[in-house]
Structure 1
């Protein structure tokens, strides 16, 4: 079987991390995965070594890709232009639509034109996202919840022996913010939290991982400096995906945690990556996050946009080393039980086979 995944943005983020893992797993079952993106935002290194990647906005090239490769199934991820491309290429094969955008207004825009190419099914990564999508679509089309899966051979607790950056400072607990620097990820709240901590503690350091090509990179840098946080908040704009298990393991070794301040998530790959490496998560109690992070077991949740609440949850982790091992163990166990790549990818393979059989009838 040969499939094509169409998405606009080649980012260093959860969608592409999830698809990288799936493509590797699919290959074991004779499924070849190609990718078509419109814009590279720093994620090419995540995909190029495991699949054929097309990066273009040229309609003629896109039409040639769609007509000459004879795909068995095409998967469209939050890309409204794709429906026009498929129509212009006279593509008549089956379509699966992945709806990943958690904001309903943006999701509605991303689905524009989907009615012209009736999909076999919709795929979403969480029950929360299923509820959001169900508001917008014809209920006759099924919605399948398939979590992002994680490769346990890559993301696991490891002992740190290298002296590569970022270096663990002595006697400091690390709180890592991982991801884009934009409005939805809510980096401004993260800096407010760091400012409070800087006034109260000297044993905590924040790491900001990522953001090299984020839309608000310059705004973040200006605010980071304006708040005089360059000592307590260290910024590492580019960390290759394959080095992330080492980052998480450094956080775990310090007795720290990851911190999310996002306004909404349809899933959140960094949560399961951290947990797989034995790192507790502190995150807002919004959207899909309570489906992933168990409050008091694999981390702690705080009320949305509540600075003091977030600070107190961080302190619960870093000030109670006697509970840390329990949090760490329960985190890895939850990933093993719910978010193993084999569990999540197997169901996707079943759907692809169902789609192909239906199309051949």
Structure 2
């Protein structure tokens, strides 16, 4: 959500929409904002939130994921339209349970629902909330600024992975994939990017890394500032490596799109949300859920078939620029606001 919030604010600002952000707790993602007390608030205190609402008189509020906030905002006096937004809610069963639990808060308090163009979210929201206004469109990425950078070549090719160390990101499968892949192609480095403040299975991960004897191969990066990730993706792509994504279910999957924007080819599980931007053998490589051997085969084809690899890198960056432009997102978001405000 932190990435989307930044991208959304940037895309809407040129159109005269002043976006303010409220985070209930501090976190590593806030390092990516140029902090301004007028537009970014971090508080979970009712009195402070009420003061912000009274002072700013917002025309519309979007609530992301935290459905309890819908009733809370009404209790604090906000009477304008509230859009309830979900970008990723874990596995299909977890998302279904979550949206059913949220119903007693969403039905009376949300004017509309917003979610990315993702099959499982579209299906669940349509089924559970047939009477609500629905808005479904792709997120955006500033591919002009978050893009490929020529920084020289690594001495060895690199496999990258980005995510929290938790079950939905499926780090176990990633370790199995790189173990098998590096038996076929030994001279590879592994770069792992994580948010170590929200990685609940870190100890299990460490134990499994040791068991597989991957300690010497893996270099971990914690809480890298967002703008620096373009450097890392570019280096992975130029090294002859790739980004591997193993998520069970994604609402969108920003890391994959960001890698594509930086000419870093992607080998990813078919986690639903990535279908918006990854077309197999056109803009990336897809493999079936839990199919380790299939993932290894696709990765091997990507690194050995140099003409296909270059074709994918070129088509991927074109897809990122054309389908996920800030202007396109702003047009869709503004159209939604005109319906509601």
Please give the TM-score of this superposition, normalised by the length of structure 1. 0.87
Structure 2 residue 168 is the aligned partner of structure 1 residue 184:
yes
Mapped contact 2:281–2:308 kept (Cα < 8 A): no
Call closer, same or farther: CA 1:43–1:109 in 2, change over 3 Å: farther
Instruction: Please give the per-residue CA displacement for 1:28-80, whole angstroms capped at 9, x wherever unaligned.
Output: 12211111112233111123447722222222222222233211101011112
Instruction: Please give the per-residue CA displacement for 1:333-358, whole angstroms capped at 9, x wherever unaligned.
Output: 111221112111221122223322xx
2:246 paired residue among 235, 240, 261: 261
Structure 2 residue 311 is the aligned partner of structure 1 residue 326:
yes
- Matched residue pairs, number? 333
Call closer, same or farther: CA 1:331–1:353 in 2, change over 3 Å: same
Mapped contact 1:260–1:283 kept (Cα < 8 A): yes
Structure 2 residue 273 is the aligned partner of structure 1 residue 288:
yes
Mapped contact 1:211–1:217 kept (Cα < 8 A): no
Structure 2 residue 11 is the aligned partner of structure 1 residue 19:
no
1:276 paired residue among 261, 265, 281: 261
Instruction: Please give the per-residue CA displacement for 1:216-266, whole angstroms capped at 9, x wherever unaligned.
Output: 233323322332202222211231101011111001111221111101011
Moved more, 203-212 or 17-26: 203-212
Aligned counterparts, 1:1-361, within 5 A: 15-49=1-35, 52-102=39-89, 103-119=95-111, 121-128=112-119, 129-137=121-129, 139-160=130-151, 169-170=154-155, 172-213=156-197, 214-356=199-341
Distance, in Å, in 1 between the alignment partners of 2:100 and 2:318 is 36
Identify unmatched segments of 5+ residues in structure 1. 1-14, 162-167, 357-361
Q: How far off is 1:292 after superposition? A: 1.9
Mapped contact 1:198–1:232 kept (Cα < 8 A): no
Mapped contact 1:72–1:93 kept (Cα < 8 A): yes
Call closer, same or farther: CA 1:153–1:291 in 2, change over 3 Å: closer
Distance, in Å, in 1 between the alignment partners of 2:292 and 2:159 is 15
Q: How far off is 1:203 after superposition? A: 2.2
Distance, in Å, in 2 between the alignment partners of 1:288 and 1:223 is 28
Please give the TM-score of this superposition, normalised by the length of structure 2. 0.92
Instruction: Please give the per-residue CA displacement for 1:60-105, whole angstroms capped at 9, x wherever unaligned.
Output: 2222222332111010111122122112112111111112234222
Instruction: Please give the per-residue CA displacement for 1:170-210, whole angstroms capped at 9, x wherever unaligned.
Output: 1x221110121111111111111122123332122221112
Distance, in Å, in 2 between the alignment partners of 1:108 and 1:101 is 15
Instruction: Please give the per-residue CA displacement for 1:263-310, whole angstroms capped at 9, x wherever unaligned.
Output: 101111112111111222111123222222100111111110111111
Mapped contact 1:194–1:232 kept (Cα < 8 A): no
